[in-house]
């Protein structure tokens, strides 16, 4: 999954004192939710419509 930009942003806030605004944190949250949704649907045909989140 494409989480490298998200981890770069989070690590830059922790170690380089960069600031995220509200849209930055919202984008990070949406990205994590999208990755969770995609990774929970990997076995769609085997297990049906259920999510494993």
Residue 53 located in a structural domain = no
What range does the domain containing 43 cover? 4-47
Residue 19 located in a structural domain = yes
Closest C-alpha to 53, from 39, 13, 29, 11:
39
Residue 8 located in a structural domain = yes
Residue 52 located in a structural domain = no
Residue 36 located in a structural domain = yes
Residue 35 located in a structural domain = yes
Q: Distance of CA 5 to CAs 22, 24, 47, Å?
A: 17, 11, 31
Q: What is the pLDDT of residue 53?
A: 46
Closest C-alpha to 39, from 29, 8, 10, 31:
31
Q: Quote the number of domains for the chain.
A: 1
pLDDT tens digit sequence for 17-53: 888 889 988 888 888 888 777 776 655 555 555 555 4
């Amino acid at each position: 999954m494409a989480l490298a930009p998200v981890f770069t942003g989070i690590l830059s806030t922790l170690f380089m004192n960069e600031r995220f605004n509200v849209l930055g944190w919202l984008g990070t949250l949406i990205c994590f939710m999208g990755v969770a949704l995609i990774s929970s649907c990997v076995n769609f045909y085997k297990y049906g419509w259920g999510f494993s989140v």
